[in-house]
Structure 1
């Protein structure tokens, strides 16, 4: 299987390199095409790659972990909107209160349709609560200076909630006897919520800011940074490892590190320094984006190839539909008031709750922590089908809906409150 995997990935990557200009012209998300390729090479198609998610969870956790880390760092570097409560109000609400509402809504939908104990329902809600900032590229920030309020909110939310899903996952695992949460949940609240979240954000910010300043000092001394690509992976590995060492959330730390690097560039520009900070050159941003794209392709191919191994019963399919059509809109309407976002934007935010790589990681993480049997199979089917339907629905609608939104924005500038 490993030989077939290398050959297939090589063919797909070469085909991508030659056809990227054609893909950009299609009114579809690239992730939808990768999903189709994965299905064609899997048991549903040619049968060249046979993947069972439950049998592949150890390496799938590692693969998705790396993919999420690269994505979060890249997203953090793109977010160059200075922090203020007004500018960040929507993504912060969606990544905190919105996550709670989403988790509860998904658990309730699962209670109505799936035969799972309530701790497993809570786990399912937590696994599917994060959104993906990459899979529908049309709705994310297009370049570092993009100030569109809708794209910023969706991208920042995806960067934050990929780490903010951890408290819900850890609570559910604790209720299932697979993680220590303490009497009445005191340890979970103190360690898994307060400490892990705050320490992860602070550690990532301090490390990212320190690296950015160090690179600037190096360039000011006349020694330009020539291997900027190493810097991206170096910062990711250093920050993630340091966060895990102090029991903080590494995903949040890496996202904060990327944002801190972007902040250091802004501060240097504000000081009107003669040398641009090498950590934020177009070369590094381009390299990070390409790495992010490569990780996206690998994961979506795996999802497509594994679709034949999940249980496509009517209850699970209906569950996945309701997650997209009910849980996401409810969370947005409950946490984002009209004073923060106009009707056209809020409707699009309510629709674009894209599920993707982060949910695959949390699924693998939970199963590798001891969940097995019927519960593991039901969770796997529900998560994979929900991601599949999200990629298809959002991949088809992203381009026309965003095109309509941009036309409305040009005609009615007052509709944009960014």
Structure 2
């Protein structure tokens, strides 16, 4: 009977979301908010169908959030259809490097001097909360591969890059807590966890994305083989890039993003910088799929678009699953008192300061800077890093208070950013159109 109820609840939730999708785009609501509310209704203070303990189930949570982030990162790479030499890349690069480092530093300082944490725990907290989320930020990301709006491109690139760029600081925090070897004077951390792991992750993704993409295109255009099952191509490339990067001691998140970027780069170079053919964008799943997939001129665009469409569908399912479970953990009894002042500080002071400093000298309008400063969405990536630390022997005495704070930050971010995304993005679109 319990299983039947779950099938009924999940089926009803998905049907409601499908029917209400167009309505949500007109209201100050997001899908994540509804998933969160549904999870809370099913949790201990509601129907009692969900009983989640993130510490006891940290291994399962790590795997679930890991998969959700990987799919979203691959989709983000496919969405960013801009040459790497284009100056537009400076915006996400600054946000994912300088702004993120500033965020880690400021959160760590607040953790030490405002919460009484050790430097190791404070740096770890900063690393967990510094990256913006590639899954929950879909409402402010690029809307299609040819979208080059600075705001949406910057937020999409930042969320994709800083999920991997935060890893060195997670390892630094664990090292300061004695849970990871840093080497004398931190040499091993700098050489391995920063330089090698970042380079190996990006390099692995670029090489595998390029090789697999070119192999598929060769088989399709020359031999009319390897046609169809582009969903398997996307999943296979995600698995190959992530697994190979981990074996090489690189950051798999960066590898998967780079693989998606490499696949899109093949299409961009084949198109000579021109927009992809309209018939490919609208007919990737039509009866003409095989004809498009084997056409030497349209095959690159078809391959990239088909992979993107599939991963975006998986991304929505992953968002629903994780946020629903997250809602099941919401409890007033677990609300940390320091969250009452720390969350406003993080969202209204630390994030804006980090963004404005990181974008000094960058080509962005005042309105774009304000929007980027506000939409520092925290979400599934932070939950992954939290459970990753738990799986690396973070003591329960530190894990539970940190989990309570991190999960509260994520829940508040889902609500406040979900309420504001529709009116703010609509206002931004109107102003951009007028200009």
TM-score bracket for the superposition, by shorter chain length: over 0.9
1:340 aligns with 2:363: yes
Which segment drifts farther, 382-391 or 313-322?
Answer: 313-322
Q: Deviations over 1:296-323 (max 9, x none)?
A: 1111111111112862133223212211
Stretches of structure 2 lacking an aligned partner (at least 5 in a row)? 275-295
Q: What secondary structure, in the 3-state scheme, does the structure 1 residue paired with 2:135 have?
A: coil
Which segment drifts farther, 13-22 or 132-141?
Answer: 13-22
Listed as ranges, the matches of 1:300-311 within 5 Å are: 300-308=323-331, 311=334
Identify the residue that residue 127 of structure 2 maps to in structure 1.
126
Which segment drifts farther, 212-221 or 228-237?
Answer: 212-221
TM-score by length of 2: 0.90
Q: CA deviation at 1:194?
A: 0.2
Which segment drifts farther, 92-101 or 39-48?
Answer: 39-48
Q: Is the 8 A contact 1:93 1:335 kept in 2?
A: yes
Which segment drifts farther, 67-76 or 310-319?
Answer: 310-319
Q: CA deviation at 1:379?
A: 0.7
Q: Is the 8 A contact 2:104 2:126 kept in 1?
A: yes
Q: CA deviation at 1:159?
A: 0.3
Change (3 A) 1:89 1:282: closer
Identify the residue that residue 142 of structure 2 maps to in structure 1.
141
Q: Separation in 2 of the partners of 1:262 and 1:281?
A: 6
Q: CA deviation at 1:274?
A: 2.8
Identify the residue that residue 66 of structure 1 maps to in structure 2.
67
Listed as ranges, the matches of 1:19-418 within 5 Å are: 19-84=20-85, 86-221=87-222, 222-223=224-225, 225-270=227-272, 273-277=296-300, 280-308=303-331, 311-412=334-435
Change (3 A) 1:192 1:279: farther
Q: Is the 8 A contact 1:182 1:188 kept in 2?
A: yes
Q: Is the 8 A contact 2:132 2:162 kept in 1?
A: yes
Q: What secondary structure, in the 3-state scheme, does the structure 1 residue paired with 2:271 have?
A: helix
Q: Separation in 2 of the partners of 1:53 and 1:219?
A: 46
Which segment drifts farther, 24-33 or 171-180?
Answer: 24-33
TM-score by length of 1: 0.94
How many residues get paired?
412
Which segment drifts farther, 365-374 or 14-23?
Answer: 14-23
Q: CA deviation at 1:223?
A: 2.5
Q: Separation in 2 of the partners of 1:45 and 1:295?
A: 23
Q: Is the 8 A contact 1:109 1:322 kept in 2?
A: no
Q: Separation in 1 of the partners of 2:418 and 2:6?
A: 25
Q: Separation in 2 of the partners of 1:102 and 1:2?
A: 44
Which segment drifts farther, 72-81 or 127-136?
Answer: 127-136
Which segment drifts farther, 128-137 or 32-41?
Answer: 128-137
Q: CA deviation at 1:277?
A: 2.1
Which segment drifts farther, 5-14 or 246-255?
Answer: 5-14
Q: CA deviation at 1:5?
A: 5.5
